[in-house]
Structure 1
């Protein structure tokens, strides 16, 4: 049942990304081009996503527990630090340059366009690079008990 629910959620997300135009990098880049060919339609996409998320959070967190898990998996770290700001900046710059965000690129992989494949490969390489850098900078754990 969990697999079916995951599939349906992914399907709905992918259809929404496609219908909204978020899988089209030209549409996304035109949203960022406020002095040129600005396309404000993505404001409505983002607003719709915020409303849907707000309602979804109210419904989901109104329950005592999730349907397929024993507990909710909610991040507890609310610290705004250099890592968060740097990651956000890299995300925004990448989105502005490529016209893809990871959420929009994954459903667009189905188009087979080389730009989407190249972006996704760069995304995976960036994730692996970030994990490698984190492993170098993370405090070493000792086995002293």
Structure 2
């Protein structure tokens, strides 16, 4: 049941990304091109997502547990630290340059376009690099 639920959630997400045009990097980069071919549709997609998320969380978090899990996994920290701000900056810059965010790139793999595979490869390399750096920093802290 969990596998089917996960598949259906991914399918709905992928279809939504495709229908909204967010799997098209030109759509995203045009949103940031204020001096050229500005396309405000990304703001409407993001606004719609925020509205659904706002009401969805209000409804879902009233439940005892998630439908396909035992507990909700919610962040406990509320502070803004350098890791969060730096990660957000790198994410935003990468999104603006490449026109892909991870959520939009994964469904776009189905297009078979080379630039999508390059982006996802760079994404995975970045994740691996961040993990290596975090582990080294943690190891230095443990020995100090």
Output the TM-score relative to the length of structure 2.
Answer: 0.94
- Aligned counterpart, 1:11: 11
**Counterpart mapping for 1:104-119 below 5 A:** 104-119=104-119
**Counterpart mapping for 1:4-83 below 5 A:** 4-83=4-83
For structure 1, which segment, 126-135 or 68-77, has the greater mean C-alpha deviation from structure 2 after superposition? 68-77
Give the Å deviation of 1:118.
0.1
Matched residues in 1 for 2:85 and 2:73: separation?
Answer: 23
Alignment RMSD, CA only?
1.3
- Aligned counterpart, 2:100: 100
Give the Å deviation of 1:137.
1.1
- Aligned counterpart, 1:120: 120
Matched residues in 1 for 2:43 and 2:69: separation?
Answer: 34
Give the Å deviation of 1:56.
1.1
Output the TM-score relative to the length of structure 1.
Answer: 0.94
Matched residues in 2 for 1:18 and 1:70: separation?
Answer: 31
User: Gapped runs of 5+ residues in structure 2?
Assistant: none
* SS state at 1:140 partner: helix
* Alignment check: 8 A CA contact 2:105 2:120 kept: yes
Matched residues in 2 for 1:130 and 1:47: separation?
Answer: 30
Give the Å deviation of 1:136.
1.2
For structure 1, which segment, 94-103 or 63-72, has the greater mean C-alpha deviation from structure 2 after superposition? 63-72
Matched residues in 2 for 1:120 and 1:65: separation?
Answer: 33
User: Gapped runs of 5+ residues in structure 1?
Assistant: none
- Aligned counterpart, 1:140: 142
Give the Å deviation of 1:68.
2.4
* Alignment check: 8 A CA contact 2:5 2:68 kept: no
- CA deviation string 1:37-65 (max 9, x = no partner): 10001111011101111121011101122
Asked if 1:91 is matched to 2:91, the reply is yes
